[in-house]
Structure 1
Amino acid sequence: MNDRINELLAQMAALEADLKEAVHAQESRMLFQINGKRVEFEDSIKAAHRKLKTNFFRWLVTNRPQNLITGPIIYSMIVPLMLLDLCVSFYQWSCFPIYGITKVRRSDYLVFDRAQLEYLNFIEKFHCFYCDYGNGLMGYMREILARTEAYFCPIKHAHKILGTHERYNRFLDYGDAADYEARLEEFRQALGKVK
């Protein structure tokens, strides 16, 4: 990997750190504090949130009909998602120790804090739970697969692909065979040190 690419990757990492800091600063102004897994708002904010909650019957009447009609299709995906969760978790649990890869913490990806928002009714909270689970699961699975790819085949594609994971840009260039086995071993060793 050339120096320019390394320089750009370092700049990207610095920008991502700045973005996280800016988002955290904005969240601090939202008048809530995180206490363990619990998000706590000031009492005045909680009271204002409760006043904004739409009761179930009003929500049902004002909801878009297409949302109600497609609901069963959307929620039927919970079965394959749970099966996928079980399979990927079992794969990581059984294989990562053998490969010496640090396991991905599921709790870093599956976060269910939207249910604590007082302005959501129970149906809206259920929607949020479903989306939290589905998107969190995809992030969890993506990181497991990214670590697997970094272990077995850390080589970029010849063709441009969209939506690469964060490890991809550090992979070996397509067709760069110089010292492949030694560099592959470096990737493997680094995976045991992931925090």
Structure 2
Amino acid sequence: MANQSRFDELLKRLRDTEKELEGEMERLLGEQRQRFHYTMEHGKVRFEKSVHAIQRQYKVGVWRYLREAKLRYVLSAPLIYVMIIPLLFLDISLTVYQQICFRIYGIPLVKRTEFFTIDRHLLDYLNAIEKLNCVYCSYGNGVIAYGREITSKTEQFWCPIKHAKRASYKHARLDKFFEYGDANAWRQDLKTLRKDWEDKN
């Protein structure tokens, strides 16, 4: 029991530190916005008018960009872009899955929009290929993050048991899972945990 109390104390300190870190990151982001002369209005980036002309001075045209690119990078591009097919399939599959199954299980739906931040294509110093690459990477990472949240909620509902071996990956819901080997908690508290969808922090 003492070990559990110590763990809970460390976990609380970690969460407090995370909140403090988030506040500091927000402060630094505000400084960056001032430094690079943009604001956020209703979730959209707004640069000062003079900044657009300055950014365009750093833009490298598409043909020059391709001419100066390493041949192996150009040849590998189709392998990167073809991954859009499984990413789209995964995105659609995850959405259909949660829309049906989460409603059946009583799990709150994951808000897809919270996992996709696509704004780098608004930078005037990027050419069309660079903008496409940035949209692609933002979308791909968004799909994976969206899938991770859906999977972690599914795991909390069906098998919320910590692993015996410390996993190299970890999602935030894992902290509330039952200890490996705690059969009593599994039988006594599973129904309660299946309804505990409060914020992870």
2:170 is aligned with 1:168: no
Higher relative contact order (CA 8 A, sep 6+): 1
1:194 positional shift: 4.9
RMSD: 1.6
TM-score normalised over the length of structure 1? 0.93
- Equivalent in 143, 150, 161 of residue 144 of structure 1: 150
1:112 positional shift: 0.9
1:14 corresponds in structure 2 to: 16
What code does the residue aligned with 1:69 have? L
1:24 corresponds in structure 2 to: 26
- Equivalent in 58, 82, 100 of residue 94 of structure 1: 100
Distance in 1 separating the partners of 2:188 and 2:39: 47
| Deviation readout 1:89-140 (Å, 9 max, x if unpaired) | 1000011111111111110001211111111111101001111111110000
Q: Which runs of 5+ in 2 are unaligned?
A: none
2:160 corresponds in structure 1 to: 154
TM-score normalised over the length of structure 2? 0.90
Percent same amino acid at aligned positions? 38
Report if the CA contact (8 A) 2:117-2:142 is conserved: yes
Distance in 1 separating the partners of 2:21 and 2:58: 30
Report if the CA contact (8 A) 1:102-1:194 is conserved: no
Distance in 1 separating the partners of 2:103 and 2:41: 32
Q: Which runs of 5+ in 1 are unaligned?
A: none
What code does the residue aligned with 1:66 have? R
* Residues 79, 66 of structure 1: alpha-carbon distance in 2 compared, 3 angstrom cutoff: same
- Equivalent in 139, 146, 154 of residue 133 of structure 1: 139
1:10 positional shift: 1.4
**Segments of 4+ in structure 1 off by > 6 A?**
none
Distance in 2 separating the partners of 1:175 and 1:66: 51
- Equivalent in 46, 49, 56 of residue 43 of structure 1: 49
1:65 positional shift: 2.1
Distance in 2 separating the partners of 1:22 and 1:59: 37
1:173 positional shift: 1.1
1:73 positional shift: 0.5
2:128 is aligned with 1:122: yes
State the aligned residue count: 194
What code does the residue aligned with 2:42 have? G
